[in-house]
Amino acid sequence: MAREKKKDFNYFDYFCTTADMICEAADYLNASLLSFDRESFMPRVEGMHEIENRADMARHEMTKHLMHEFIPPIDREDILELSAKLDDIVDAIDDTVRRIYMYNVTEIKEGALSFCTLIVKCAGALREAAEEFRSFKSSKHIKEKLVNVNTLESDGDNLHSELLHGLFAGEQDMRALIVWMNIYEDLESCLDYCEDAADIIESVIMKNT
């Protein structure tokens, strides 16, 4: 009886699946802060960590296949680098939710909600870029999708600068200043990692076309 042919692992499917989880995490962060309640926030932390665990498991599964891959569709190092950066995004969102809990934040500032809006948009733009990455050699839209990610990250840089300026200009409570300075740093990191992932995709395209 003929042996069943082993199904090839699709690394581009993996990138898209992880990008889906990034979008899920971004939406979850946004919903958690929009409906923020300090007294019942711990379950939100646990829910976010469950998403982060699924992203980790997907990455471990991909790495297991990559270890035995004879000829991957793109350089092995690029697959590992991009997977690490995608994982960083989910970790950064998870860290943000966890920090809000650890710091026992009592209310969410409007600036944090503005950041969440950008993160949701940037995650969506990265998901679109990941989908186009499947056929990057023929895609007519992937450059546009990558530029969208970079533009949203730049918007985040500007927002971060304005929020810190307002924080240092108006916040009298040193504890609150430190708390929100760190939370804004975490939120900006989410966007920074999205841009890093987009830059890796762009680098892979340049090397392979």
Task: Quote the pLDDT of residue 148.
Answer: 97
Band (3; pLDDT cuts 50, 70, 90) = very low
Task: Quote the pLDDT of residue 152.
Answer: 98
- By C-alpha distance, which of 29, 28, 27 is closest to 187? 29
End-to-end Cα, the chain, rounded Å: 42
Q: What is the pLDDT of residues 122-150, one digit of tens each?
A: 999 999 999 999 999 888 899 999 999 99
Q: Residue 23 belongs to what H/E stretch?
A: helix 11-34
Stretch 94-122: mean pLDDT: 97
Domain 11-208: CATH class, spelled out = mainly alpha
pTM for this entry: 0.94
